[in-house]
Amino acid sequence: MIQKWFDNSSVYQNQFDKDSIDWVRIVPFILIHVACLGVIWTGTSTTAVVIFLITYLLRMFAITAFYHRYFSHRTFKTHRFTQTLFAMIGASATQRGPLWWAAHHRHHHKHSDKKTDKHSPKNGFLHSHMQWFLKQENFQTDASKVKDFAKYSELRFIDRFDILFPILLIMLLFIIGEFFQHFFPSLNTDGWQLVVWGYFISTVLLSHITFCINSLAHVYGKQDYHTNDDSKNNLILAVLTLGEGWHNNHHCAPGTVKQGFKWWQIDISFYVLKLMEKLGLVWDLRYPNEKVLNRRLIRKAS
């Protein structure tokens, strides 16, 4: 059982019931939620809240800018080191490895809101929000969909042993908290407090807000462009996910690094990527084709 938690290459427990939830494998997912109750004993502090925000924002950026815009859609180029670094940070968000994430997302775009879409809201909120990835049939990585990145041995390692990176983050937070308690007692924190706020609470919020793109951004919001699905633009989700809430924009032009097409459409991930471009960390950012956008624009009747 423990091997199944640490090694994603383990075969299915029940090959004849792949549509069922793999209760053995999802024990860590359940425990992460339960562990948030640890705040009752650890309490809170300004330091803990700051660490919570840092771990939330950094890992959300890794998911939105790299897991999504880079690994899934290749909307820019980067160095192999940067690619690996953000793959590890993304894995620490506990949303599986970059190859698994990208493979499923590429499948989603090919079958968006059709019967073969693995997380369409048409199959119910709970299914699209999280039930789909808890099933045995969706646990393995389909490397055939990510051949461009599966050639990198370090990405295959991160994908196979992705649970190592949340564990490393927990250890780092505990060490930092104990260091603060010993040398800076005025910060009123300790190792367990930073673990609860910086990992458990941060991860649960980060995860469910990310899941909302599947469950809510195809239901609530506004469609500005004609697409072959029900994707919507949602300001609240855009703010919380650093730009991913402009989901109708994204489905209109999935190959662009920019998802907020209008000046007022906040897209923090794009702003950070532009800064990284100036620093030479990323390059060849791909932008939307204005002719395509104009052709697909939904025009209001005058």
The domain total for the chain is 1
CA distance linking residue 6 with residue 45, whole number of Å: 33
Contact 88, 122 (CB under 8 A): no
Q: 255 lies in a domain?
A: yes
User: What tens digit of pLDDT does each residue of 236-257 get?
Assistant: 999 999 999 999 999 999 999 9
**158: exposed, middle or buried (Cβ count in 10 Å: 0-12, 13-18, 19+):** buried
Instruction: Express as a percent the part of the chain with pLDDT over 90.
Output: 84
In a domain, 279, yes or no: yes
- Please state the pTM of the whole predicted model: 0.95
Q: Does residue 302 lie within any of the structural domains?
A: no
Decide if 54 is inside a domain: yes
Q: Is the pLDDT of residue 13 over 80?
A: no
pLDDT tens digit string along 26-60?
Answer: 889 999 999 999 999 999 999 999 999 999 999 99
- Give 16's pLDDT tier (boundaries 50, 70, 90): very low
Q: How far apart are CA 285 and CA 70, in angstroms?
A: 10
| Phi-psi sector, 79: left (phi>0), alpha (psi -120 to 50), beta | beta
Q: Residue 269 above 90 pLDDT?
A: yes
Q: How far apart are CA 200 and CA 102, in angstroms?
A: 24
| CA gyration radius, the chain | 20
Is 301 part of any domain? no
Spell out the residues 6+ positions from residue 140 whose beta carbon is closer than 8 angstroms to its own. Answer: 8, 12, 100
- Classify residue 197 as left (phi > 0), alpha (psi -120 to 50) or beta: alpha
Q: What is the pLDDT of residue 289?
A: 92
CB within 8 A of 301, min separation 6: which ones? none
- C-beta separation of 189 from 182 below 8 A: no
- Encode the chain in three state secondary structure: CHHHHHCCCCCCCCCCCCCCECCCCCHHHHHHHHHHHHHHHHCCCHHHHHHHHHHHHHHHHHHHHHHHHHHHCCCCEECHHHHHHHHHHHHCCCCCCHHHHHHHHHHHHHCCCCCCCCCCHHHCHHHHHHHHHHEHHHCCCCHHHCHHHHCCHHHHHHHHCCCHHHHHHHHHHHHHHHHHHHHCHHHCCCHHHHHHHHHHHHHHHHHHHHHHHHHCCCCCCECCECCCCCCCECHHHHHHCCCCCEHHHHHHCCCCCCCCCCCCCCCHHHHHHHHHHHCCCEECCCCCCHHHHHHHECCCCC
What is the separation of C-alpha 247 from the centre of its chain, rounded to a whole number of angstroms?
A: 14
Unique residue bearing structure tokens 């562990």 = 35
Query: Within a domain: residue 27?
Result: yes
What residue numbers bound the domain in which 75 lies?
A: 2-296
Residue with tokens 């053995």: 24
Say if 242 falls within a structural domain: yes
For residue 18, the model assigns a pLDDT of 66
